[in-house]
Amino acid sequence: MPKHFEFHGFDANSHVKIRLKSLISQILSMAPSDSGVRSTIKKVGDEYFGEWKVTSVNGPFQAQAHAKDPELVFESLFGEMSKQLVTWEKERSRSVS
């Protein structure tokens, strides 16, 4: 499960990095077993823009969000990505049945 984190336009403090890693680990536990993830967070002015991409043979999953606080961006990304992965899991379960 390769993980790649990028921060542009700001230096993420240790608290931000720990929170990001925790949420990404939760996402990867929900994702297909062959998944890798790329997280990009950039600061433009006083806004943070984030994108998570999870790649797998089962297809790409992608979420984007923006907010004035990087942790709010992570929470939004986590929520959107979780929805996609839950939908994938339900569809996979139906096709196996």
Average confidence (pLDDT) over 85-93 = 90
93 pLDDT exceeds 90? no
pLDDT tens digits for 41-81?
A: 999 999 999 999 999 998 899 999 999 999 999 999 999 99
Structure tokens at 43: 């600061």
Could you say which of 2.160.20.10, 3.40.50.1100, 3.30.160.100, 3.20.20.140 is the CATH number of the domain covering 3-96? 3.30.160.100
The Cβ of residue 95 has, within 10 Å, a number of other Cβ atoms equal to 7
| Domain extent listing, the chain | 3-96
* pTM > 0.85: yes or no: yes
Q: Other CB atoms closer than 10 Å to residue 32's CB: what's the count?
A: 17
State both tokens at 70: 């990087």
Sorting pLDDT into bands at 50, 70 and 90, what band is 94? confident
**Does the structure show a pLDDT above 90 at 4?**
no
